[in-house]
Amino acid sequence: MSDRYAVIGRPINHTKSPLIHGLFAQASHQQLAYGAIEGTLDGFEAQVLQFREGGGLGMNITAPFKLRAFELADRRSERAQLARAANALKFEDGRIVAENFDGIGLLRDIEENFGEPLRNRRVLMLGAGGAVRGALLPFLQAGPRELVIANRDMAKALALRNELDHPRLRISRYEELQGQAFDIVVNATSASLTGELPPLPGAVLGEARLAYELAYGKGLTPFLDLAREQGVARLADGVGMLVEQAAEAFAWWRGVRPGTRAVIDQLTIPLE
């Protein structure tokens, strides 16, 4: 029998993970089966344990179970701890190990695929929820000149700042961004899911080289539209992040890091 893996979430019908991991397995000549499980709100933990009992070796976790997966684990990586969320689990030696590859996946997409290293750059991230928490450590480790986190709810941003006091990390209100310039701007809010735009003042995107929207498959969101209007040269949605975080999980489970370019190309939906 093939080694077994699965993604669990709710809803799960739109997941691309089985496709992505199937392509990785094919390209790296690995034998594995990767399924999708619709999680239940009252039975998530039991479903994970059951999958492990059935011989499962690892799982990807998607909304709304990332926090519960994190809590279920016996061991947690540092970045999972800061994110307070797990997007991947590994079952080994009778233990459940939690990881979070969302932030590193985003970072790799920006640095490797878009060719925009963060070192010495001014980076702006919008939001202070789970997506930002997951990205903070990898982003700071990449050595930006400054990483500014802007959020409407300042208490949430302050709480983040208190957990991770780093000389390059600054939190800001949206209105305080007026007149500032950034090289890379990432929209890690959930505003695009409801067709909204974070309250960015003036032409704050004007000097950016890259505007990155975390939502995949949402097309030209209000944020990307604004970035285009303000002349940002390159617009990105989350397809590369999706594939890169999957490659990290694959490497963690299988010890082989698959190539990502062909898979990203296959999944890319033109923005317009």
**For 54-153, where are the alpha helices, taking DSSP H only?**
66-72, 78-83, 102-108, 130-141
Stretch that binds ligand ATR, among 67-75, 136-144, 152-160, 201-209 (CB under 6 A): 152-160
Asked if residues 147 and 172 have their Cβ atoms less than 8 Å apart, the reply is no
Backbone CA torsion sign across 260, 265, 268, 271: positive
171 lies in the binding site for ligand ATR (CB under 6 A): no
Site for ligand ATR in 109-128 (CB under 6 A): 127-128
Min CB(228)–ligand ATR separation in Å = 19
Min CB(257)–ligand ATR separation in Å = 26
Site for ligand ATR in 74-93 (CB under 6 A): none
100 lies in the binding site for ligand ATR (CB under 6 A): no
Question: Does 66 participate in catalysis according to the annotation?
Answer: yes
Distance in angstroms (rounded) separating the CA atoms of residues 123 and 252: 28
From 167, 99, 164, select the one nearest 132 (Cα to Cα): 164
- The answer for residues whose C-beta is within 8 angstroms of residue 270's C-beta and 6 or more apart is none
From 204, 62, 63, select the one nearest 126 (Cα to Cα): 204
Min CB(127)–ligand ATR separation in Å = 4
Cis peptide before 11 (omega within 30 of 0): yes
Min CB(86)–ligand ATR separation in Å = 13
Stretch that binds ligand ATR, among 72-80, 117-125, 190-198, 236-244 (CB under 6 A): 190-198
Residues annotated as catalytic (active site), given as ranges: 66
Interface with ligand ATR (CB under 6 A): 127-131, 151-153, 156, 189-191, 196, 198
